[in-house]
Amino acid sequence: MTHIFVLTNHKGGVGKSTSATNIAFGISRVLAQSNSRNCRVLLIDTDSQGHATLVTTGRNDFGRDDSLYSVITADKKDAPTTLVNCIVQSEWDENLHVLPASPLLEAAEREMIGIPGAPYRLTDPLSRILNRYAAVVIDTRPSFSLMTEMGLLCGTDALIPVEPRYLETVGLQSVIDKINAIREGWRCPNLKVSGVIVTKLDKRVRGHLDTIEKLKSHPYFGKLLCGIIPANEAVAYAHTAHLSVYQYDPNSIASAAYAMLVKRLVRLLVAQEGV
Ligand SMILES: Nc1ncnc2c1ncn2[C@@H]1O[C@H](COP(=O)(O)OP(=O)(O)OP(=O)(O)O)[C@@H](O)[C@H]1O
Ligand SMILES: [Mg+2]
């Protein structure tokens, strides 16, 4: 089984795209460093804002014929070929492939509501090419909209980025409930909540440290906590430079934190598949 990590939270600006891009490239890097036979990772951007697409490809002009929009609007029989044709290589590395988002996804989402089988228009073609990839990482938009459901339906491992603030963590249970409801309602038994990633931790802020302590000691959330990413300006500068945080500043604290998180995720892959 190929692991498909879905970064999701209906809260905006919590680090979904930053995490999706750096996790995807991080997994590919670690696999390459350990001479794995397959180091290819596919990053799928389901957010019409296209931030993950922009930073990894340097482009935000994908549209009708060369993006995820093309895949979900293709005839069922053509969708797998369309998917293959729309995937591009990231500027970051040849082993990181990207299925780009398009602003057209915004309208497509409204148009497709109610169309039978609409939520499966990504998972069906994706299942046909999964064996090409060591892992897939999906970025989602800040809402549980149709596009997010499409992403989660493909997924095996939902990862929830959350900022270390009281109200953010209060909302965590509702995000988990929503993912569980999608698993039950849409019958995708492989999907589970595999981790919570705390992002933008500022150790100087007492409330942040308190929140981390509460999360760690929580009987359920504590077990899910799989990464703590510090607030670090290297992340913002890396975005501006269209680079991963590892490439922009390999010595930054965010780079080290993402590398540690990626190591944990790669252990999941290796344990199951021996990639
Ligand atoms: N660890 C970090 N340190 C500092 N800034 C960060 C960090 N992680 C993310 N950011 C900044 O926070 C902002 C939001 O990050 P990002 O776009 O990854 O969040 P998002 O959840 O994908 O947002 P949206 O909900 O709009 O899709 C960006 O400006 C990004 O540069
Ligand atoms: Mg985003």
3-class DSSP state of 197:
strand
- On the 0-12 / 13-18 / 19+ scale of CB atoms within 10 A, 206 is exposed
For residue 212, give every residue at least 6 positions away whose Cβ sits within 8 Å of its Cβ, in sequence order, or none: 164, 198, 201, 228
Torsion angle, alpha carbons of 77, 82, 84, 89, to 10: -170
Q: What is the pLDDT of residues 101-144, one digit of tens each?
A: 999 999 998 889 888 889 999 999 999 999 999 999 999 999 99
Dist CA 70 CA 75 (whole Å): 10
Give, as one character, the DSSP assignment of residue 6.
E
Q: In the structure encoding, which two tokens stand for residue 145, read together?
A: 């909209």
- On the 0-12 / 13-18 / 19+ scale of CB atoms within 10 A, 124 is middle
| 97 ligand 1 Cβ < 6 A | no
Please report the domains of the chain, with CATH numbers, ordered by start residue. 3-273 (3.40.50.300)
Strands (E), 157-231: 157-162, 192-201, 225-230
Q: What is the pLDDT of residues 144-200, one digit of tens each?
A: 999 999 999 999 999 999 999 887 788 899 999 999 999 999 889 999 999 999 999
**Amino acid in position 111:** E
List the one residue out of 5, 269, 13 whose CA is nearest residue 137: 5
Cα(175) to ligand 2 centroid in Å equals 16
Question: Which atom of ligand 1 lies closest to the CA of 231?
Answer: 3
List the one residue out of 32, 18, 247, 260 whose CA is nearest residue 134: 32
3-class DSSP state of 183:
helix
Length of the chain: 275
Dist CA 241 CA 159 (whole Å): 26
Q: In the structure encoding, which two tokens stand for residue 20, read together?
A: 């999706």
Question: Does the structure show a pLDDT above 70 at 272?
Answer: no
Cα(113) to ligand 2 centroid in Å equals 22
List the one residue out of 51, 72, 62, 70 whose CA is nearest residue 7: 51
Q: What is the pLDDT of residues 255-271, one digit of tens each?
A: 999 999 999 999 988 87
Is 0.85 surpassed by the pTM of this model? yes
Which ligand is in closest contact with the Cα of 9?
1
| 12 ligand 1 Cβ < 6 A | yes
Nearest CA to ligand 1 atom 9: 15
Contact, 40 vs 132, CB < 8 A? yes
